Amino acid sequence: MARWACALTIAVVVLLAGESSAKPYVPGGDGVVLERLPEKGDPSLIQLKRMRAALAANPRDLQIAVAVARRALEAARTLGDPRFLGQAQAALSPWWDATDIPRTVLLLRASLKQSQHDFEGSLADLDRLLTSDPMSAQARLARATVLAVRGRHGEARRDCEELRGHAAPIVVAGCDAGPASLSGDANHAYAALVVELTHGSGNDELREWVLTLAAEIAARQGTFDAAERHFLAALALDPRDPYLKGAYADFLLDRSRPAEVHSLLRDETKNDGLLLRLALAEQRLPEAHEAFVAHRADLAERFEAARRRGDRTHRREEARFRLAIESDAGAARKLARDNWAVQREPADLRILIEAARAAGDQDALRIAADWIAATRLEDAAIAALMQASR
């Protein structure tokens, strides 16, 4: 998902992208591989496993359940593996359908619904929270996040404005910068972020979030030197942030700097989104051909395994894979259109345009052009793609 997921890290809850719940996948035989085991050698995942064992012994212990759900959400974000979302939901199952659901669980349920692309369900939960407590900064920021992912920028900005006086100025600026920059107010959004950064506002986590936002806005505006400064400053604060690494890798790929992407991501093979970017870089590097072939096969297997499970959380990433690596414009076009029906951020629009151009889908190009006009989107790369499509 985009930087909005990190807004909810600031709000104590991590929002992640995913797909609506499907019926359980029944394997066809004993030889079917159901799951990779990323916890091997990862202390945080080993701890999650122990926490889940403690919860199994006390399944109605709210404190343990909330801790497990939050840790599983963070694992899903870090690894790009939506199967951890199932663990989070399972931890909250005793309260999931309760009429008197605790507020903490309701906020986590909204996060999980968002991560499953059940945006309306997520908004309903957040509306319920804000009806009972209009001053809840967590719920307000969460709702702004969901609205922004859906492209409802005006409504998102109104929620951000409501945060004034209830959240730190840097949080308000970060909340507003995304929807503002995607609806014709990029210069003002960027300037507001720079002011907060110049004043030294916020802790490292907040500053890394805001620096990444600033980098993305600058990149969309075509001010690449400023964008790179912000990306590097953010990485200095948190070199492990998977969203940040993915965004910087995309920036480097656009600048035709695949060797730097390879250096940045060579060890990031657990996270599907980062593995995709690594493969895109290796595809351009003759010396990395052997690794590219292996990673291409690994990605294809992961996407197929997800399909067998009924999990379609990575439609954007799979569309990029099908188009750029597999050269399957038809499959990429369908994935990109399905993805666009669900989430509408610049990366979603970009793959929609790229796949539509490759497949000769004029209707999808008209959808993109209408969206750009309606939102007054300022994005140099997307503008160039649309110009080339005429």
User: Is 100 found in the same domain as 47?
Assistant: yes
pLDDT at 313: 77
Residues 44 and 127 in one domain: yes
pLDDT at 16: 32
User: Which of 239, 262, 290 corresponds to the end of one domain?
Assistant: 239
**Rounded Cα distance, 282 and 288, in Å:** 5
For residue 113, being part of any structural domain is answered with yes
Both 13 and 85 in a single domain?
yes
The pLDDT, as a whole number, for residue 194 is 97
Residues with Cβ within 8 Å of 99's Cβ and at least 6 positions away in sequence, in order, are: none
65 located within any domain: yes
Query: Dmax of the chain from CA atoms?
Result: 62
Range of the domain at 63: 1-21+40-156
List, in order, residues 6 or more apart from 292 with CB less than 8 Å away: 279, 282, 283, 285
Same domain, 225 and 327: no
Rounded Cα distance, 292 and 297, in Å: 9
**pLDDT in tens for each of the 390 residues of the chain?**
445 445 544 544 333 323 232 233 333 333 333 344 455 556 778 889 999 999 999 999 999 999 999 999 988 887 777 788 999 999 999 999 998 999 999 999 999 998 888 888 999 999 999 999 998 999 999 999 999 999 999 999 999 999 999 999 999 999 999 999 999 999 999 999 999 999 998 999 999 999 999 999 999 999 999 999 999 999 999 999 999 999 999 999 999 999 999 999 999 998 999 999 999 999 999 999 999 999 999 999 999 998 898 877 789 999 999 999 999 999 999 999 999 999 999 999 999 999 999 999 999 999 999 999 999 999 999 999 999 988
Could you tell me if 347 and 202 lie in one domain?
no
pTM: 0.87
Looking at the fold, whether 329 and 386 belong to one and the same domain comes out as yes
Claim to verify: residue 218 and residue 140 sit in the same structural domain: no
- pLDDT digits 0-9 by tens, 104-150: 999 999 999 988 888 889 999 999 999 999 989 999 999 999 999 99
Verify that 174 and 235 share a domain, yes or no.
yes
Of the residues 93, 121, 156, the one at which a domain ends: 156
Domain identity same for 131 and 84: yes
CB–CB of 368/336 below 8 Å? Answer: no
* 87 lies in the same domain as 146: yes
Q: Is residue 214 part of a domain?
A: yes
What is the 3-state secondary structure of 248-315?
HHHHHHHCCCHHHHHHHHCCCCCCHHHHHHHHHHHCCCHHHHHHHHHHHHHHHHHHHHHHHCCCCCCH
Q: Are residues 152 and 5 in the same domain?
A: yes
Terminal-to-terminal C-alpha distance of the chain: 30
Q: Are residues 101 and 131 in the same domain?
A: yes
Is 211 a domain residue?
Answer: yes
Instruction: Give the CATH number for residue 54.
Output: 1.25.40
Among 156, 187, 216, where does a domain finish?
156
* pLDDT at 36 (0 to 100): 47
Structurally, the chain folds into a number of domains equal to: 3
pLDDT of 76 reads 85
Give the per-residue pLDDT at 40.
56
